[in-house]
Structure 1
Amino acid sequence: MDRPSPTLTQFVVKLHSRCDLACDHCYVYEHADTSWQGRPRMITRAILARTASRIAEHARTHGLPTVHVVLHGGEPLLAGPAGIRMAAEELHRALDGSTTLDLKIHTNGVLLSERFCELFDELGITVGVSLDGDKEANDRHRRYANGRSSHAQVLKAVELLNRPRFRHLFAGLLCTIDVRNDPVKVYDALVELDPPRIDFLLPHATWDEPPLRPGPSPTPYADWLDAVHERWDATGRPVGIRMFESIHRTLRGESSLIESLGLTPADLVVVETDGTFEQADSLKTAYDGAPATGMDVFGHTLDDVLDHPGMAARRQSVDDLSAACRACPVVTSCGGGLYAHRYRTGATPEDTGFDNPSVFCPDLMALVHAVRDRENVRLRSLDAWPTEAPQDLAAFDALARGHADADTLARLARAQHLAVTDLLAVLRRRATGAQTEDDVERAAWGLLDVLDAEAPDALDTVLAHPWTRPWAAGLVRSGGPAGPGLAELAAAAALRARHPATVTVPLRGPADGAPDGGGLLRLPGLGVLLVDGATGLAQVTARSDEFLVRAGGRELRVGWDEGLDCPSSYWRPVRLVELPGWTVALEDTDPLRLAWGSTVADRLAPGDVKAWAEDLAAAREFVAARLPAFAPALSAGLRSVTPLNRTAGRPCVVSSRDAVGAVGIALPEGPDELALLLVRETQRLTFRALRDACSLTLPSAPSADHLLDAMEDAYARLVDTAYAPGDGRTTPVPPALTSLPGLSALGERFVAGLRGKAAESRPF
C-alpha cells in the first residue's frame, strides 16, 4: 500500500531566541547545537508575515483542515504583548478562509500576568507551562542564572490560568523527567494544580551523551514512569497524560499522540527568529547544526522542506528503522523512540548517524510491557461479571440454576484467559526485573509479543491449552526458572500462525516427563516429537506445507496434513474427536498430563482411539437428549480429555481448577455413565470459571476455600437432580450452605439459585 502524501501540520515559531531562566537541561542552550548565538533575539513582522503565508500556501495545496502553531523560544513571553499580538494577527490574517488555526504558546511561566492572559483570551491562544514537579524537583534544574528558584513564580502562573475567566486557556503542564526525583511526589504535585493535561518528557540524550542512570536498575526511566502510571491508574486517571495514552493507543493499533512514540510520521517544522526552517528542536542535542535545513521562509516553500533528507528520514516507517528496532516486539508502540535519541558517533562517517535504537531503548521496552500488563488487569476489572444490569443478573441467576447460554460461557472463558495472561505478566515482570533470563527465554518472550500483535488468535489458542495455566501458576508460586515451557508456548503459537520465525526450544528429559531416553519436544495442543537420546535444544521452523525440527544432529519434517497416526515414527500428534457442535482433544501426548497421577494411560492404540471416539459421540447424543440444558457448557467448556487407566480404589474422573477445560477419565462401561461423569466435571469447570469472573465469598471469610468447594460439589450434583428428579438420592445443596457463612451478595444469590433448582421435581 502506498503511503499517504506527506504534509506538515505542526509549526513551531520562535518569537524570541533568549530565555530568562538558565535551566541546565535545556536542549537549546545546553546541548551540542550553538546556532542560537548567531540569531536575532526577536522575530520581525516581515518574517512572521512570510511564515504565515507559507503555512497558508501549504494548507491550501494539501487541503489541510487544521494547522497547529506553537509560539516558542527561548522564552516567548520575552517578546512582550506587542510581539505576541503581531504573530497572532499575521497568522490569523493569512490563514483565514484557508484552514482552522490551533494556536498555542509554551512558556516557563515566570512572566505570565493577567495582561498576557487577557491578550491570549482575545487572540485565542492556549497556554502550556513547563514545571518539573514540587519545589525540590523543579529547583533541581529550573532556576534563574543567579541560582534563584523559579518555582513560586510558576505556581502563580498556574493559579492565574486556573481562575474561572482564564481556565479555558490552560493547555497543560510539561514536566521533564529527572529520575533522582520521587515520581509519586512529582505526579501528586502536578495533579494538585488541576491541569487539563500533563506531558512527561524524557530528558534529551544520545549514545554519545547518555542519560543519567543512577542506581542499579538498567531501566530507571521505565521504573520512574511506571510508578507514575501506577499512581495515575490507582487514582482514577484524573488527568490526561499523553505518553500513557499514546502507549494505550498504539497497543490498540492506533496512532500515537506524541512524536517520541509510535510510527506516526513526523510532521513538524521549526521557524527560527531569522526565518530559517529547521527540523525538530530535539535534534539540537545530537550535534552542532543537526536541525539545519539550509532553507528559509523567503526562498523556499514548505514542500521544499518536506523534500529535505532529514525531514524524509523522520517520516520513516518501521521498514526504515534500524535492524534491532525492526526485530523488536514493541516497535509499533515505541517507534524506535525519538529520532534525536538514536544518534551515535561511529568509528567512521558511515557508521555515524541515527540508524540505531533509542538510547532509552531498554526503558521504552520495559515501559510498554508494564503499561500493557497493567492495562490488561484494568480491563479485567472493567469486565467484571455480572454487572447490575438486569440482563446480566438474569444470566447469572440462570447459571446458578444450571443453565449457561453462549454469552455467559464466553464471559467465563474471557475471565479464564485473563487469569492466564495475568500469570504470564507476573512472570514477564519477574524475568525483566531479575535480568537473569537466558537467550532462549528472552527470544521466546519477544516472539510471544510479536505473535500477540500479528497472530493473536493463534496465541490465544495456545494460551487456552489446559496445561498452560498450571505451568504458569506453578512458576509464580515457586519462583523458579521458566524451563522449556515458555519456548514451547512460543513454538506452538508460531506453528499455528505459520510464522516464519525459527524458535529455539529446550528438549525435555526424563525428569520433565520425557521417555527414559529423553529427547522430547513438546508442542502444546499439537503433539510431541521424539528425538531419541537427544539433549539440549531443538530448532523449530514453520514452512508452507510442513514444519521442520532440527535436533540431535537430525532434521525431522512433519507435514501439516499428516493424520491421526501419521507415518512419521517420531511425531505423535494430538488426536481430535470432532462431533457436531463439539471438538474435544484426546490428550495422550502432553507430558504435563502426568500431573493427573499414576493412572494416566500411555499413548492409545488406534483401536482404543476408535472406541473412545464412539463412546464420546454416544455420550454427546445422550446429553443432547436427556440433559439438554448442560449441552452448551459441555461443548464450550470441555475441550480436552486425558484417558486414565481404570484402577481399583482410585477415582475414575479427575479435574483441577488450573487445568482449564480438561478432565482425566477412565472409560466406563457405557456411554450413559460417561455422559454423566463428563457433565458433572463440566459443571465443576464452569463453577471454577465463575470463581475467576467474580467474588462469591467475602474477603474476610475464614474458610472461603471450604465454602467454595461445597458450592462446587452442589453445583456438580445438579446433574443428578436433572437426570433423576425427586428420587431422593442426592442433596444438591449441603446444609453447610444454608446459613450463608462468609458469602458475598453474589454468593448468596448463587446459592439461592441452587436451592431453587434443587427444589424442583421436574427435569431441566
Structure 2
Amino acid sequence: MDRPPASLSQFVLKMHSRCDLACDHCYVYEHADTSWRGRPRAVTREILAGAARRIAEHALAHGLPVVRVVLHGGEPLLAGPDRIRWAAEELTGALAGISVLDLRIHTNGVLLSETFCDLFVELGIKVGVSLDGDKASNDRHRRYADGRSSHPQVLRAVALLNRPGYRRLFAGLLCTIDVENDPVAVYDALVALDPPRIDFLLPHATWDVPPPRPHGSATPYADWLDAVYRRWDAAGRPVPVRIFDSVLRTLRGESSLTESLGLAPADLVVIETDGTFEQADSLKTAYDSAPATGMNVVDHTLDDVLAHPGMLARQQGLEHLSDECRACPVVESCGGGLYAHRYRTGSGFRNPSVFCPDLMKMIMNIRDREAAAPAAITPEPLDAAALDELASGFGGAGTVTRLSAAQAEINHELLAAVGERAPRNDRTAMQAWDLLVDLDAAAPQALDAVLAHPYTRPWALRVLDGTEPWGAAASGLAQIAASAALRARRDDTLAVPVHDGLLRLPGLGTVLVPPEAVLAEVAVDAEGFSVRAAGRHVRIDWEAGVDGRTPHWRPVRLVELPGWTVALEDTDPLRDCHQWPVADRLPADEAKLWAQDLAEAWTLIQDELPDYAPGVAAGLRTVTPLHAPGGSDVSAASRDAFGAIGAARPETPDLLALLIVHEFQHVKLGAVLDSFDLHRPLDGTRLFYAPWRPDPRPLDGLLQGTYAHLAVTDFWRVRRRTAKGAAAPAAEARFAQWREQTTHAVRVLAGSGLLTPLGERFVAGMRRTAETWEAEEVSAAALTEARSAADRHRAAWTARHPSHAVQLAP
C-alpha cells in the first residue's frame, strides 16, 4: 500500500504570479501549464496567514526542527516590501516555539534595492538570484519583453548583496544551462561575482518537447557540465556547486542536495497566490495543470497533500522508476532525474529522464575523475634530520607539520578505540559512530580538523582508562561527529548529549541550552545549523557574530594574524586539563585585549625570534586563558593536548611572547616523546635538580624543563640587545642566569645514564645550542648577578632536599 512520507519541510510560497522579465525558457509562463492566468497577481495577508498556520500545524505534528520557506513568483519583489513583511511576520509568529524558520527569496534581481536589503536584514531573509552567466549568455534568454538586456541590473543586485552589510543575505546564483553558451565563460563570469553557491539547472523539457541538442550531439549537457567541472576542480573547487556536490554525495551513498538527483523522497510543496497547494513547479513543463492537487490552505492540511497520488508517486524511490532506470548502474546517483523530465504522453512519468544520456555521462565522468584523483599527500614521518632540527630547540614549519601528522594518527587510533568499545545498545553512540565512519570517508579533512582540537585526546584517554564512565564515550562521539558535520557543511541531523546547560561542539564553541536538557538535536545545512533542546530553538548562520549577535551561541574566537591564526579557547568544558584553573568565558573587552596582545607578541616573535615563528604558526592552534591566583603570571602545556597552551594574560605582550615560545617547547617535545623513546623506563627513584624548580624532578621532567628553557634563554639573549633603558641590563642578567642554569641542566641530562642512544643524540643537539651561547660576551655585573642567583637557588634546594644533593653536578 502506498504511504505518504513522514513530513514536508520545504515550502515555496508564491508572492506574485507575474514577472517583469520575459525569459523565453521560463517554466511558469512559457511551458504547458497556463494556470497562472487565472490566479491573483499578489498574495493576500489572509492567504499568508492561512499558509503559515498550515505549515506550523504540520511542523508541530511532525516535530520538524527546521522549516524552509522560499518566497517565489513570478517575480516576488513585485509583491512589494509590505507583503514580504507580512509573509515573514505570519510565518515567524506561527512557528514561534515550534520550529526554526529558514526564510529565503528567489528573485531575478532587477528590482533589488537597499530598501529591500534592509528589510531582508531585519527579517533574516536570504536571497538567491537568477543569472545565466556573462552578458552574452544571460541575454540569450533573460530579457525584458521589449528585448532589453537585464544583465546590468542583475550585476547591480549582486554587487549590492556583496556589500559587507548585506553579504550575509546572499544565498547564491542560479544559472539555467544553454549549451549554445560557452561553459567556461559562464562559469568564470559567475565565480567572479563571489557567490556563496552556484546552481546549474538543466532546462525544463519532456519527451514530448525534448531539449535542444545542437550539432547532433547525444550528450551536449554532459559535455557542457564536464567543461565546467574541470574548470571548477582545477581551481580547487572555490565555491560549492550544487549539482556537482550532489553527485559526489550520492556516489558516497549520501543524500542529494537537489530533487533532480538521488532517490530521496520529495519533501516540497508549492502554495500559490490564491492559497492552492501544488506540487513542484517543474511539473508545469509536462502538461496543463500537471502540478495541481485540488487542495488549498483553507480546507486541507499538509497531511492531506502528502496523500495525493502525485505526491505519493514522488516518494517511492527506486521501486517507482522505470525498468530501464532500475537496471542502470548509476541509478543511486541519478534517481531517474527530475520527475518532470520523465514525462511522455501515454506513459506518464514512468520513463527515464529525457536527459538520461547526459546524466549518465556526467555522473560517470565525475566518478572516474574522482577515482583517478591522486591521494592526499601526507607528510613524511620524522627522520633523523627532523629530529636533529627539533633537538636544537627549534623546528621549522615542515618539521612541526610532520609532528602534527603523527599526532593526528594517534588521535584517529584513540577515536577508533573509543568507538570499538562503545556499547552497541547505545543508540546515540552508534548513530554518532556511523556518521563518523561516513565522514571519515566523505569529508576526512573536516574530521581531521575536529580530531586536531587539543582537548579531544584527553577525553579519549579518560574514557579508555576508565576515569570517565562510558556515558562520556557517547557524548564525546556525538560531539565530535556534530562538529565534523558542521565543518563539512553537510545536511546532517544528529542527537548530541548535553550537560550542565551546554552543548559542546569541540573546536567550534558551545550552545547554551536549558539546564534540564539532556539531549539536543543538531541540524546542519549549507548556510548554518540549528539546535533544538528542551523547547529552545537556536539558529546559527555561518556568518554569525562572535559576541552577542546570536543569543545562546558562544563560538570560539579566532585571532587572525599575518601568518598565524590561533583560537582563543574559552568555551570547551574539557579544556580544564592544565596545571592552573581555566578562566571563564572572557567578556568581549577582555577578549579584545587578548587579541591585541597576541598580535603584538606575534610581531615580536616574527621580528626577534624568527627561528621559532614558523613552527609556532604550523603547530600552535589554541591559547586557553587561565585564571592566575593572586594576579601572578602563569602558563602551562598539557602533555596530552598537542597544539594548545594555557596562559593568564601577562602584563605586557613581550612576556606573552616569552610564554608562547616557552610553552610551545613543551608541546613539541611531548609530540617527540609520543613517537620516540628518548630515555629508559623510569622507576621514580632517581630525582634531579632543576634550576627553575624548588622540588627534585624525575628525568623526564628535567628533560621537559630544560628543553623549554632553551627558548627562555634564547628570548633573553635577543632581548638584551633590543630592550631599551633600564630593561637592557635586566635582560642581560636574565640571559646570563638562564644560559648558565640551562647549560648545567643539559649536562646533567647527558650524564644521567638514563638516556637511550636516540635520547643521547637528542640531548647532544640541545647541548650544542646551549654551549654555542657560552661564547657570547656578557658584562661582569650580569655574570656576577647570574652566578649569585644560581648559588642562592642551589643552596636553598640543597637545604630542602639533602638526600638528592648528589644530583646537582653534571
Q: With structure 2 as the length reference, what TM-score do the two structures score?
A: 0.47
